[in-house]
């Protein structure tokens, strides 16, 4: 606090002490005046006794005069009512009323109630006393006063306001104030103090605190301060989260301008007649440019989320080589999450038991684990040296139950590893797959892997040579862990690109049906036999299974997958950029629907090929595809709810195909 403020405070304290001394002096004078008046009254009563009624009346009036001061004369004889005066008057200024009013006589003059004194007998007694001043302690205001202080001045006014010196009139006027008037006064006082405060800051800093309209605003930040704020991690995270919420909220699929009184237009009729239509397309100029999509997968918990893994961008050496982008159906312009990897990501999957975890396989042979609650880097990854994969990992799967699940991965060097989710430093399982005899080489290069829904200890692998082999994770009766030597599935003339077991969701068990796609321009349907039902031929030679149905196409087929809801429906994508939907209960020669993603600006015919496909598992009406141009396209398939007879129809179709085509032949025949 400055010196001037200290001196002002001392002066205010001294003024208050003087005022208290004046109040004490006035109280003493008032007490003395009252005592003198009381003694004079007693003396008059002793020397000139009055009638009892008059004495009682006089005592009452004296008591009232002591309490509230002199009153005006009564309105009639014997009247006791009086109105309170608005000011304090001395006893000498009082006016006498008519003859019925009491009269004060001098000592020695006797008077009876019936007699009237003559003017020469009257000797009025005038008492000269000090003016009587009554000081009222003002009651508290009906609204609590809000006192604010500035930085430098604690008290800018005297402690007593002007109302304290106005007597009764000031008290009555303040008591009549309404709450609104008090609030308005408080608001004006606060605004005045704020103006003074900003004026002081303006003088100290040289910056104006008021705009042209008189409003207050924060001072303008410098370029360095703005850069520091916008570069902070908290600010970036806040903007990222908030903008995503706003974008998802703005994505309204409901047409608020729909006119229900009008019919459908030509475009609506065309869309309603189509069995498949494009509903969304995801491409980010920053991350998707010049990258190829290597895998697509829908979230098992959140149907609106799907991920896509990408290879490196040759023209951006400083960007991460591998990416996993999580897209949201309600936010088309940018991904929900961006995850990085030091090598090309060849495959990625959502964990069905941990919705926040994403498992991926890299070209470097690493198995990576990302968490949507963490940053863009992997939370866990396998080491580049030591036990594990040393070749590219093209397939990963998360199998098991909620309480006991594992990550299974296979690489092109013929190694299948099992990992636990919380520890990727060393594999818990390690299988080296070797081609069974009578093959001329032991090398086996898996390109894809698939597990049945009923048996997590048994799986199929598709290889670069075109053969599909069943494998065991553990030793069992009659077979050891590794490739099952008693049977193999041969029918493709080129590398197998995908293997997919039929999902079991109906009254008939179709879990042994397997779809496979290959670069030999075909998709084949197999009936896989469980290892327990597999037997060797009489000569001891391994059995060779052939496909029961074959779907020849006009281009390289990169991926094929069963529909999760319709028993006879599956989808495939080819190198020509076509998505085809097939239903074997309807036709086995031609697809029931086909579509092609809309061309992006700048795309060429060399980048329109599609290599991955994924169905949304909840309702099975959406299918996502991706390819060489880095664009993820989502289509909606118009399908009817599955009927029970469809399952039986598929079962009968498979039985007829098996009878018409001897699908198992002995080696050498």
pLDDT digits (tens, 9 = 90+) for 27-37: 888 888 888 88
CB count in 10 Å sphere of residue 526 = 22
Structure confidence at residue 76 (pLDDT): 43
| Model pLDDT for residues 526-576, shown as the tens digit of each residue | 998 766 555 554 445 778 888 999 998 888 999 999 999 998 899 999 988
User: Helices 52-68 and 3-47, interaxial angle, to 10°?
Assistant: 170
Q: Give the pLDDT mean for 426-445.
A: 84
Structure confidence at residue 355 (pLDDT): 86
Contact status, residue 433 vs residue 469, Cβ threshold 8 Å:
yes
Q: Give the pLDDT mean for 194-198.
A: 82
pLDDT at residue 655 tops 80: yes
The CA–CA distances, whole Å, from 349 to 396, 408, 595 equal 7, 11, 25
Residue 69 zone, left/alpha/beta (φ > 0; ψ -120 to 50; rest) = left
Structure confidence at residue 435 (pLDDT): 87
Which residues are CB-neighbours of 219 under 8 A, at least 6 positions away?
205, 207, 209
Structure confidence at residue 511 (pLDDT): 84
Tell me which long-range contacts 182-190 makes (C-beta under 8 A, separation of at least 24).
182/141, 182/142, 182/143, 183/143, 186/143, 186/145, 186/146, 189/148, 190/146, 190/148
| Model pLDDT for residues 377-387, shown as the tens digit of each residue | 999 999 887 77
pLDDT at residue 146 tops 50: yes
- Residue 219's pLDDT band, with cuts at 50, 70 and 90, is low
pTM of the model: 0.62
Structure confidence at residue 84 (pLDDT): 41
| Model pLDDT for residues 228-273, shown as the tens digit of each residue | 777 777 777 777 777 777 776 666 555 555 555 544 444 444 444 4
Instruction: Please give the order of strands across the beta sheet that includes 305-310.
Output: 293-298, 305-310, 322-328, 337-341
Which residues are CB-neighbours of 16 under 8 A, at least 6 positions away?
159, 160
Q: Is the dihedral of CA 404, 410, 416, 422 positive or negative?
A: negative
Contact status, residue 88 vs residue 69, Cβ threshold 8 Å:
yes
Question: Percentage of residues in the chain with pLDDT exceeding 90?
Answer: 26
Structure confidence at residue 161 (pLDDT): 43
Q: Is the dihedral of CA 276, 278, 280, 283 positive or negative?
A: positive
- Residue with structure tokens 């920053």? 286
pLDDT at residue 194 tops 70: yes
Contact status, residue 392 vs residue 443, Cβ threshold 8 Å:
no
Q: Give the pLDDT mean for 287-294.
A: 90
Q: State the alpha helices, DSSP H only, in 48-178.
A: 52-68, 167-175
The two tokens of residue 159 are: 């402690």
pLDDT at residue 170 tops 70: no
Task: Name the nearest CA neighbour of 447 among 513, 519, 397, 495.
Answer: 495
The two tokens of residue 226 are: 């703005």
Give the span between the Cα atoms of 402 and 352, in whole angstroms: 9
| Model pLDDT for residues 294-330, shown as the tens digit of each residue | 999 999 988 899 999 999 998 888 999 999 999 998 8
Residue bearing the bigger pLDDT, 51 or 666: 51
- Residue with structure tokens 């039902």? 533
pLDDT at residue 158 tops 60: no
- Residue 509's pLDDT band, with cuts at 50, 70 and 90, is confident
Give the span between the Cα atoms of 65 and 126, in whole angstroms: 16
Q: Class of 280-668 per CATH?
A: mainly beta
Q: Give the pLDDT mean for 476-501.
A: 87
| Model pLDDT for residues 50-109, shown as the tens digit of each residue | 455 555 677 777 777 766 655 444 444 444 433 343 333 333 343 433 433 433 444 344
The mean pLDDT value of the chain amounts to 76
DSSP state of 248: H
Give the span between the Cα atoms of 318 and 316, in whole angstroms: 6
Residue positions counted in the chain:
669
Structure confidence at residue 163 (pLDDT): 43
Terminal Cα distance for the chain, rounded: 108
Question: What are the b/e assignments for 472-493, b being 16+ CB within 10 Å?
Answer: bbeeeeebebbbbbbbbbbbbe
Residue bearing the bigger pLDDT, 603 or 129: 603
Structure confidence at residue 340 (pLDDT): 94
Domain range list for the chain? 280-668
Which of 135-139, 223-227, 321-325 has the highest average model confidence (pLDDT)?
A: 321-325
Q: Give the pLDDT mean for 343-362.
A: 93
- Residue 407's pLDDT band, with cuts at 50, 70 and 90, is very high
- Residue with structure tokens 């020849």? 552
H or E stretch including 150?
A: none
Contact status, residue 79 vs residue 52, Cβ threshold 8 Å:
no
| Model pLDDT for residues 453-466, shown as the tens digit of each residue | 888 888 999 999 89
Give the span between the Cα atoms of 138 and 360, in whole angstroms: 80
């Amino acid at each position: 606090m400055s010196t001037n403020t200290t001196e002002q405070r001392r002066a205010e304290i001294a003024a208050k002490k003087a005022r208290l001394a004046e109040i004490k002096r006035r109280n003493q004078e008032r007490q003395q005046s009252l005592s003198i008046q009381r003694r004079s009254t007693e003396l008059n009563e002793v020397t000139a006794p009055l009638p009892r009624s008059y004495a009682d009346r006089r005592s009452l009036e004296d008591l009232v005069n002591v309490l509230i001061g002199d009153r005006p004369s009564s309105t009639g004889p014997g009247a006791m009512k009086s109105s309170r005066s608005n000011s304090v008057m001395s006893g000498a200024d009082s006016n006498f009323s008519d003859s019925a009013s009491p009269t004060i006589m001098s000592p020695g003059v006797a008077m009876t109630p019936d007699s009237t004194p003559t003017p020469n007998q009257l000797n009025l007694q005038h008492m000269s006393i000090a003016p009587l001043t009554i000081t009222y302690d003002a009651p508290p205001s009906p609204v609590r006063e809000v006192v604010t202080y500035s930085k430098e001045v604690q008290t800018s006014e005297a402690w007593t306001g002007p109302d304290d010196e106005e007597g009764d009139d000031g008290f009555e006027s303040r008591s009549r104030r309404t709450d609104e008037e008090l609030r308005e006064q408080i608001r004006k006082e606060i605004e005045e103090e704020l103006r003074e405060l900003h004026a002081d800051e303006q003088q100290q800093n040289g910056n104006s605190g008021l705009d042209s309209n008189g409003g207050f605003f924060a001072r303008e930040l410098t370029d360095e301060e703005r850069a520091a704020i916008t570069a902070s991690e908290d600010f970036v995270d806040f903007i990222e989260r908030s903008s995503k919420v706003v974008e998802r909220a703005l994505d309204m699929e409901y047409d608020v301008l729909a006119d229900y009184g009008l019919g459908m237009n030509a475009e609506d009729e065309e869309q309603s007649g189509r069995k498949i239509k494009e509903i969304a397309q995801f491409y980010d100029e920053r991350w998707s440019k010049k990258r190829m999509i290597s895998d697509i997968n829908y979230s098992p918990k959140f149907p609106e989320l799907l991920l896509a893994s990408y290879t490196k961008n040759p023209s951006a050496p400083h960007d991460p080589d591998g990416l996993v982008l999580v897209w949201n159906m309600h936010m088309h312009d940018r991904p929900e999450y961006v995850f990085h990897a030091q090598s090309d990501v060849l495959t990625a999957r959502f964990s069905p038991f941990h919705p926040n975890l994403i498992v991926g396989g890299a070209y470097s042979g690493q198995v990576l684990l990302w968490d949507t609650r963490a940053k863009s880097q992997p939370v866990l990854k396998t080491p580049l040296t030591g036990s594990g994969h040393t070749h590219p990992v093209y397939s990963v799967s998360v199998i098991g139950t909620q309480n006991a699940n594992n990550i299974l991965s296979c690489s092109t060097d013929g190694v299948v590893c099992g990992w636990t989710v919380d520890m990727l430093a060393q594999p818990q399982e390690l299988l080296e797959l070797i081609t069974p005899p009578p093959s001329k080489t032991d090398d086996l290069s898996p390109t894809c892997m698939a597990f049945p829904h009923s048996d997590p200890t048994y799986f199929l692998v598709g290889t670069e040579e075109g053969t599909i082999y069943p494998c065991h994770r553990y030793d069992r009766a009659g077979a050891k862990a590794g490739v099952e030597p008693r049977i193999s599935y041969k029918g493709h003339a080129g590398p197998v690109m995908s293997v997919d077991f039929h999902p079991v969701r109906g009254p008939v068990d179709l879990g042994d049906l397997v779809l496979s796609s290959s670069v030999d321009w075909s998709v084949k349907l197999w009936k896989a036999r469980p290892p327990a039902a597999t037997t060797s031929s009489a000569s001891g030679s391994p059995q060779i299974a052939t496909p029961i149905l074959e779907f020849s196409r006009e281009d390289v087929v990169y991926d094929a997958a069963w529909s999760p809801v319709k028993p006879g429906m599956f989808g495939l994508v080819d190198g020509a950029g076509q998505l085809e939907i097939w239903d074997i209960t309807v036709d086995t020669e031609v697809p029931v629907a086909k579509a092609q993603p809309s061309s992006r600006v700048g795309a060429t015919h060399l980048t329109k090929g599609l290599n991955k496909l994924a169905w949304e598992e909840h309702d099975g009406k959406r299918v996502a595809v991706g390819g060489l141009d880095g664009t993820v396209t989502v289509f909606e398939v118009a399908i009817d709810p599955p009927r029970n007879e469809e399952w039986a129809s598929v079962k009968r179709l498979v039985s007829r195909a098996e009878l018409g085509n001897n699908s198992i032949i002995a080696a050498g025949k």
